[in-house]
Structure 1
Amino acid sequence: MTDSPMILVECFADDGGTAADDAKIDRALLMAAARLSDDVTRVTDVGGPSFLPDPDTNLPRYQFTVQLDMRGTAL
């Protein structure tokens, strides 16, 4: 049994530098954690970090997407 979920992470902050730094750190942590998992067989960086200001609040926002190939067991 396998699955390939995509994870979209959005990082908001009061300034663009903080949002960008948060996105870089979050991406590195997610990629590292996924690679340490026995259930994750592959990690693919789909896109990002990309600057996309929030249209409703106009706050700086960076987002990235990661896809995980996973194996699991039926419940």
Structure 2
Amino acid sequence: MSKYLEKEIYVSEISLNALKALKSKNFLVDSNLDNYGSSQIKTIYMNEVLDNIPCSVGIEVDNTWYEKKN
């Protein structure tokens, strides 16, 4: 996702596995959004709203995203 944006992406996540994966992709990650200065944040995307909506799982293979089949 970050390769399509000119700005840095700051991520707030509490899952240890997700934190590790995001850090490996060079996202700026913290477990608390309050730790980022407000001048750094221009848009907030809140995934928690989507947690209750059925969705597909995506997987990345060779820089291409695919829908994971069951």
TM-score (normalised: structure 1): 0.22
Higher relative contact order (CA closer than 8 Å, sequence separation 6+): 1
Higher share in strand? 1
- Larger of the two Rg values belongs to structure: 1
- TM-score (normalised: structure 2): 0.23
